[in-house]
Amino acid sequence: DIQMTQSPSTLSASVGDRVTITCRASQSINNWLAWYQHNPGEAPKLLIYKASSLESGVPSRFSGSGSGTEFTLTISSLQPDDFATYYCQQYHSYSYTFGQGTKLEIK
């Protein structure tokens, strides 16, 4: 099975900051990489799919990049609603895996 290593596990930042979260796959996943935002008690929300495609309705300050085994989620200017936990998710050969999550906290 493909393992996903997400870093950092916790990130402290301020409103207006630019932040980057990284996800590494144990083997190439052909860009089948998605990013989700999750707040406690709520349904996870799809942000990015196929590594860099922005889901409809998601603010343009969110962007995804990468290919092969290394991928990043960037938030260009943090807003108060962005403090949440973020997960990457891969697909390869009928196998789906989530990263361990990154909790984005207010500094």
Q: Among 75, 91, 72, which Cα is nearest to 33's?
A: 91
Q: How many helices (H) and strands (E) does the chain have?
A: 0, 11
Question: Which of positions 39-68 make contact with other proteins (CB under 8 A)?
Answer: 42-46, 49-50, 55
Nearer to other proteins, 5 or 17 (CB): 5
SS3 82: helix
Contact assessment for residue 90 and residue 26, using Cβ atoms and an 8 Å cutoff? no
Q: Which among 16-24, 36-44, 64-72, 74-82 is the span making contact with other proteins, rule CB under 8 A?
A: 36-44
Residue 99 binds to other proteins (criterion: CB under 8 A): yes
Q: Which residues contact other proteins (rule: CB under 8 A)?
A: 1, 32, 34, 36, 38, 42-46, 49-50, 55, 85, 87, 89, 91, 94-101
